[in-house]
């Protein structure tokens, strides 16, 4: 696989920073896997009689999040690598707020669902 064009730009950053960026990327991959596992758990263990369609909606949101997150995480990783290579400020990402918000809303919904059932 050919190396991306941005990898030839600027100067190679200190390897410690590159490895830290890679660890962050891998943490996002673990989060994506956890979201996918959560989707499977919701479908398998949440009673189907609990508010019709809600179980499927929860699982779908988790599965979509677990599918989209690795793509967004890779884009974030490459943007940070490029910024380090070019000596620029690290780019802002709303990813933290979005993931925390979605998980918070789903968690609250599951608690309400558990109490109602």
Question: Tell me: the pLDDT tens digits for 16-45?
Answer: 999 999 999 999 999 999 999 999 998 888
How many angstroms from the chain centroid is the CA of residue 22? Answer: 14
pTM: 0.82
Question: Tell me: the pLDDT tens digits for 52-78?
Answer: 688 888 899 999 999 999 999 999 999
The H-or-E segment that residue 12 falls in is: none
How many Å apart are CA 15 and CA 27, to the nearest integer?
18
């Amino acid at each position: 696989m050919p190396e991306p064009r941005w990898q030839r730009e600027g100067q190679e950053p200190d390897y410690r920073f590159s490895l830290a960026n890679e660890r962050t990327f891998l943490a996002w991959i673990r989060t994506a896997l956890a979201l996918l596992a959560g989707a499977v758990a919701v479908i398998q263990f949440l009673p189907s009689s609990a508010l019709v369609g809600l179980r499927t909606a929860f699982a779908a949101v988790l599965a979509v999040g677990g599918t989209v997150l690795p793509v967004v995480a890779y884009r974030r990783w490459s943007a940070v690598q490029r910024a380090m290579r070019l000596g620029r400020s690290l780019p802002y990402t709303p990813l933290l707020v979005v993931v925390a918000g979605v998980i918070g809303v789903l968690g609250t919904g599951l608690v309400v669902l558990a109490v109602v059932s």
